[in-house]
Homo-oligomer: A and B are copies of this chain.
Amino acid sequence: MEELLKFAPRPTGAGAMFQMLRDGQPRTRADLAAATGQARSTIAARIDLLMSAGLIVPAGEATSTGGRPPATFAFNPRAKVVLAVDLGAQHARIALTDLASTVLAEADAPLAIAEGPDVVLSWVAEQGEKLLAEADRERGDLAGIGVGLPGPVEHSTGHPIMPPIMPAWDHVDTPGILRKHFDVPVLVDNDVNIMALGEHRAAWASVDNVLFVKVATGIGSGIIADGALRRGAQGSAGDLGHVAVPGAEEVPCRCGNVGCLEAIASGQAVADKLASEGLDAHRGVDVVALVRGGDLRASAAVRQAGRDIGSVLAACVSMLNPSVIVIGGILADAGEHLIAGIREVVYRRSLPLATQHLRIVTSQTRGEAGVLGASAMVVDHVLSAAAIDALAGA
């Protein structure tokens, strides 16, 4: 017991050793022994095991400090592949990635989610086969499938739950249907959650507390806290589209309530407002085109949407204390107007302790966020420390 209280805790299994290697850097047996505090013989046995599973490969020799130069080993992300699927309201994208979430092949299509699970998931299966062939990989190389859906998803089962814009998908066993085509683990989540995961891994991997906000037809967010996605009890965490905006009580929302952020500041809401002023705007993409064309009414409307979003994000900053807020979705493409409005209100309205190190930035992964996140979700599952420990029987 005495020793216990003196040592800094440090995970020591084969899985923990493998997680170190996942950064792609080659390491010698001595490096790994020093980093894990394990005996050289233990490290050697674990390297043999991970080599035989194909998960690590020899990576040349390190610089010698005298005598025979020691061999190095590195993660082999090509050992397996992942199908990453981002299904939006009107658009579908699918990518085949390796275990480092590098895209090997990709396809997309103007496919409406409202076509229902049969049509949409058949498309996924068909495109999945095509991408495997294109990348010259076999079905046996597939480690898993990750899917993002534009609605609430019970993550533990992968079932959509009462999804407003895709009623035909309610409680549909999405993983079960895809497993008829590919007998691998299938993980499903809400599209904004996988975008948050994709953006976090690709652009902010070293930051533990990130809030990703999508401003598109609707408004939603994904919460990274202490380094992991937080989904809440029913998987609906991050749903800021239906938070009330102060002073907007007269605006009805499609959810049945009034004054919801989505009814005031989404791409659709801004387009509707501009259309009512006689401008040619039907959807968020039209708003972006107007702003880019120099229309001042459109810029002003986007900036006001930013302020309204900022008034809700100020509360999120107090509650979640993130280091970074990333703004994605189509309306983020309207230059600096959206983010300027957001910053204006958040920095005025939140406490100094929570904003002194806070950054508010636009998405770096843009349209790729969803497939990158879907891939990362699957890779994390099949290569988790616990999964590797189980493989090692440690």
Asked if A226 and B223 make an inter-chain contact with CB atoms under 8 angstroms apart, the answer reads: no
Cross-interface CB contact of A161 among B13, B80, B184, B353, cutoff 8 Å: B353
A244-B246 Cα distance, complex, nearest whole Å:
9
Does any Cβ of B come within 8 Å of A171's Cβ?
no
Does any Cβ of B come within 8 Å of A9's Cβ?
yes
Does any Cβ of B come within 8 Å of A315's Cβ?
yes
Q: Collect the chain B residues with CB atoms within 8 Å of residue A55's CB.
A: 1
Query: Nearest chain B CB to A382's CB is how many angstroms away?
Result: 6
Asked if B354 and A11 make an inter-chain contact with CB atoms under 8 angstroms apart, the answer reads: no
Asked if B243 and A246 make an inter-chain contact with CB atoms under 8 angstroms apart, the answer reads: no
Q: Collect the chain B residues with CB atoms within 8 Å of residue A110's CB.
A: none
Asked if B319 and A319 make an inter-chain contact with CB atoms under 8 angstroms apart, the answer reads: yes
Query: Nearest chain B CB to A318's CB is how many angstroms away?
Result: 5
A356-B236 Cα distance, complex, nearest whole Å:
12
Asked if A53 and B230 make an inter-chain contact with CB atoms under 8 angstroms apart, the answer reads: no
Does any Cβ of B come within 8 Å of A115's Cβ?
no
Kindly supply a per-residue 1/0 record for chain A positions 297-334, scoring 1 wherever the CB is within 8 Å of any chain B CB and 0 otherwise: 00000000000000110111011111100000000000
Query: Nearest chain B CB to A81's CB is how many angstroms away?
Result: 12
Kindly supply a per-residue 1/0 record for chain A positions 220-247, scoring 1 wherever the CB is within 8 Å of any chain B CB and 0 otherwise: 0101011010111111111110111011
Query: Nearest chain B CB to A248's CB is how many angstroms away?
Result: 9
A322-B393 Cα distance, complex, nearest whole Å:
36
A226-B357 Cα distance, complex, nearest whole Å:
26
Q: Collect the chain B residues with CB atoms within 8 Å of residue A9's CB.
A: 381, 384, 386-387, 389-390
Does any Cβ of B come within 8 Å of A255's Cβ?
yes
Asked if B382 and A185 make an inter-chain contact with CB atoms under 8 angstroms apart, the answer reads: no
Query: Nearest chain B CB to A78's CB is how many angstroms away?
Result: 12
Chain B: CB-nearest residue to A239: B318
Asked if A349 and B244 make an inter-chain contact with CB atoms under 8 angstroms apart, the answer reads: yes
Does any Cβ of B come within 8 Å of A10's Cβ?
yes
Asked if B246 and A247 make an inter-chain contact with CB atoms under 8 angstroms apart, the answer reads: yes
A152-B161 Cα distance, complex, nearest whole Å:
38
Query: Nearest chain B CB to A356's CB is how many angstroms away?
Result: 8
Asked if A255 and B351 make an inter-chain contact with CB atoms under 8 angstroms apart, the answer reads: yes
Given known A9-B384, A12-B389, A387-B7, contact A319–B239 (CB-CB < 8 A): yes
Query: Nearest chain B CB to A217's CB is how many angstroms away?
Result: 17
Query: Nearest chain B CB to A98's CB is how many angstroms away?
Result: 13
Binding site for B on A (CB under 8 A): 1, 3-5, 7-13, 53-55, 79-80, 143-144, 152, 161-162, 184-185, 208-209, 221, 223, 225-226, 228, 230-240, 242-244, 246-247, 249, 255, 257, 311-312, 314-316, 318-323, 349-354, 356-357, 381-382, 384, 386-391, 393-394
